[in-house]
Structure 1
């Protein structure tokens, strides 16, 4: 029976959502890690981080960038095949560019960048390789 194919697609959506949670948690913990150093606290107190003046615009850009993995946790679960596939590819690529071009100042930054990059590359690759027949079975099989 084709119900195993239905389960496969649901599992793929769950896997994408879980991977986005994994990426998001690593981004959050990388940021938290930075906040516990004396240098980071001093920069925050002066209003200049990595040579950039902290402004409302900069904070908004940061919020927008972090919103990408947050929204992908939900969208990975609810979008249909084609939109889901392309959303994961595009959001994964954009987030990967942000991760690898961000300020890498110490060893733990490298660790988090590597972990986040591997997860994002997997998201992009897995979405790219997502076979269309899984989605077609989704519209045929009803449980």
Structure 2
């Protein structure tokens, strides 16, 4: 059943849209990081800072990045209870990854801050979302 009040936002759509915003911020944080002087030359050595870039590390990053990618879709299709739990868990894990895996470059701090704001909103929406009344 769709809500007849246009001012009331659908939690599924809102969370899905916020995950898209998170992904765009992640993408552009990385793009801007790559164009920073010396970054690509350093990465060509096989290191990102003190971290050795290996296929296994790249797989870990791919898995962590798949979480918000999957949540764009899952936020729209999961049932009420699973949706709330998945959004809260995914947002908490992604916040940890964003804050713990970033740099102190001003562009990253700004974009990561926007990601955290969006994921905090996702957590709040999921936490306060009440099960719709069963209408038959």
Q: Is TM more than 0.5 here?
A: yes
2:50 is aligned with 1:51 = yes
Q: TM-score, normalised by structure 2?
A: 0.91
Q: Which residue of 2 aligns with 1:111?
A: 110
Q: Which residue of 1 aligns with 2:18?
A: 19
Contact 2:95–2:116, Cα closer than 8 Å, also in 1: yes
2:27 and 2:112 mapped to 1: Cα distance? Answer: 12
In structure 1, runs of 5+ residues without a counterpart are none
Q: In angstroms, what is the RMSD of aligned CA positions?
A: 2.1
1:1-143, aligned counterparts within 5 Å?
A: 4=3, 11-132=10-131, 134=132, 136-137=133-134, 140-141=135-136
1:50-97 CA-partner distances (Å, limit 9, x unpaired): 211110000000100110000000000000100001000000100011
1:130 and 1:11 mapped to 2: Cα distance? Answer: 10
In structure 2, runs of 5+ residues without a counterpart are none
Q: TM-score, normalised by structure 1?
A: 0.87
Q: Structure 1 residues 32, 119: CA separation in 2 closer, same or farther (over 3 Å shift)?
A: same
Contact 2:95–2:119, Cα closer than 8 Å, also in 1: yes
**Higher percent of residues as helix:** 1
2:81 and 2:4 mapped to 1: Cα distance? Answer: 17
1:45 and 1:115 mapped to 2: Cα distance? Answer: 29
Q: Structure 1 residues 41, 16: CA separation in 2 closer, same or farther (over 3 Å shift)?
A: same
Secondary structure of the 1:38 match is coil
1:127 and 1:8 mapped to 2: Cα distance? Answer: 18
Contact 1:50–1:103, Cα closer than 8 Å, also in 2: no
Contact 2:11–2:126, Cα closer than 8 Å, also in 1: no
